[in-house]
């Protein structure tokens, strides 16, 4: 395959900061920067909320308890080995308050949660934002929605995890490199934080392994970068690519590699 494929789609596309290349021999230089809200914002916000609920209700542990026969052998009608927390009255911390961060805030508001927005280190100061070091001890859930840049790579490391409450949970549907994965694995093993829902890793697919894929890490949900991937969202991606290929400029984010960056 050379140049642009027969179906007319460009050989090299950049969607939400990720390069999709169809031809490795003669790639076109066309790029397709599209606003995330057009095709997967609702999916990501819902996925974020699902992971939050699964972790605070200890859903993975209870499912494994049933699968292992622990409930069947229990002497009472309900098995309550793992503490469950309700979300009403809890505080959500959002790092990256673009389209996705705002959508997550709207969804979790329905649960009775209040949101605090972090001032992203290295970003321009914004009214109403809370310095990250001040925000972390106050929140019950930390949700990441910022792009991966030089200033955010490894942003959530051992020190930041140590500032979080012992029962707080971390949700990352943004980019894997924002979190120090070895530090997160250790924090979960030590019970320094309450849990983590991770849909992105620093290398994908993780053919060489990853610290977060070890089987002994408690209260951790790892999914294979599928928070965005509903059939409906993927159909919208196809429609955006088709529009771009036809020369229709819509939903573009000019001058930014990652959609939503200006609003962070």
Residues annotated catalytic, as ranges:
175, 204, 225
Ordered alpha helix ranges (H), 153-212: 158-163, 181-190
- The continuous run of DSSP H or E covering 109 comes out as helix 99-109
Q: What Å distances lie between residue 140 and 196, 207, 263, CA to CA?
A: 12, 33, 24
Strand partners, 183: none
- Measure the CA–CA gap between 100 and 41, rounded to whole angstroms: 6
- The continuous run of DSSP H or E covering 93 comes out as strand 91-95
- Measure the CA–CA gap between 89 and 216, rounded to whole angstroms: 31
- Measure the CA–CA gap between 140 and 168, rounded to whole angstroms: 4
């Amino acid at each position: 395959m050379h140049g642009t494929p027969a179906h007319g789609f460009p050989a090299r596309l950049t969607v939400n900061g990720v390069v999709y290349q169809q031809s490795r021999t003669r790639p076109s230089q066309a790029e397709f920067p599209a606003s995330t809200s057009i095709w997967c914002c609702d999916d990501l916000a819902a996925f974020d909320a699902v992971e939050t609920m699964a972790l605070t209700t200890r859903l993975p542990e209870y499912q494994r308890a049933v699968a292992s026969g622990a409930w069947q052998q229990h002497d009472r009608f309900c098995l309550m080995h793992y503490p469950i927390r309700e979300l009403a009255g809890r505080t959500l911390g959002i790092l990256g308050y673009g389209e996705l961060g705002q959508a997550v805030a709207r969804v979790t508001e329905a649960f009775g949660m209040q949101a605090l927005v972090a001032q992203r280190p290295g970003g321009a100061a914004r009214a109403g934002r809370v310095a990250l070091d001040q925000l972390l001890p106050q929140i019950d859930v930390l949700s990441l929605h910022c792009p991966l840049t030089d200033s955010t790579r490894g942003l959530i490391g051992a020190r930041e995890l140590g500032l979080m409450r012992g029962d707080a949970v971390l949700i990352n549907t943004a980019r894997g490199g924002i979190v120090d994965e070895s530090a997160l694995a250790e924090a979960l093993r030590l019970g320094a934080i309450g849990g983590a829902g991770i849909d992105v890793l620093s290398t994908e697919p993780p053919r060489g392994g990853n610290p977060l894929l070890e089987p002994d890490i408690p209260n951790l949900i790892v999914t294979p970068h599928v928070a965005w991937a509903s059939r409906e969202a993927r159909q919208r991606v196809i429609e955006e690519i088709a529009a771009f290929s036809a020369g229709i400029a819509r939903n573009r984010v000019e001058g930014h590699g990652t959609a939503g960056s200006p609003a962070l």
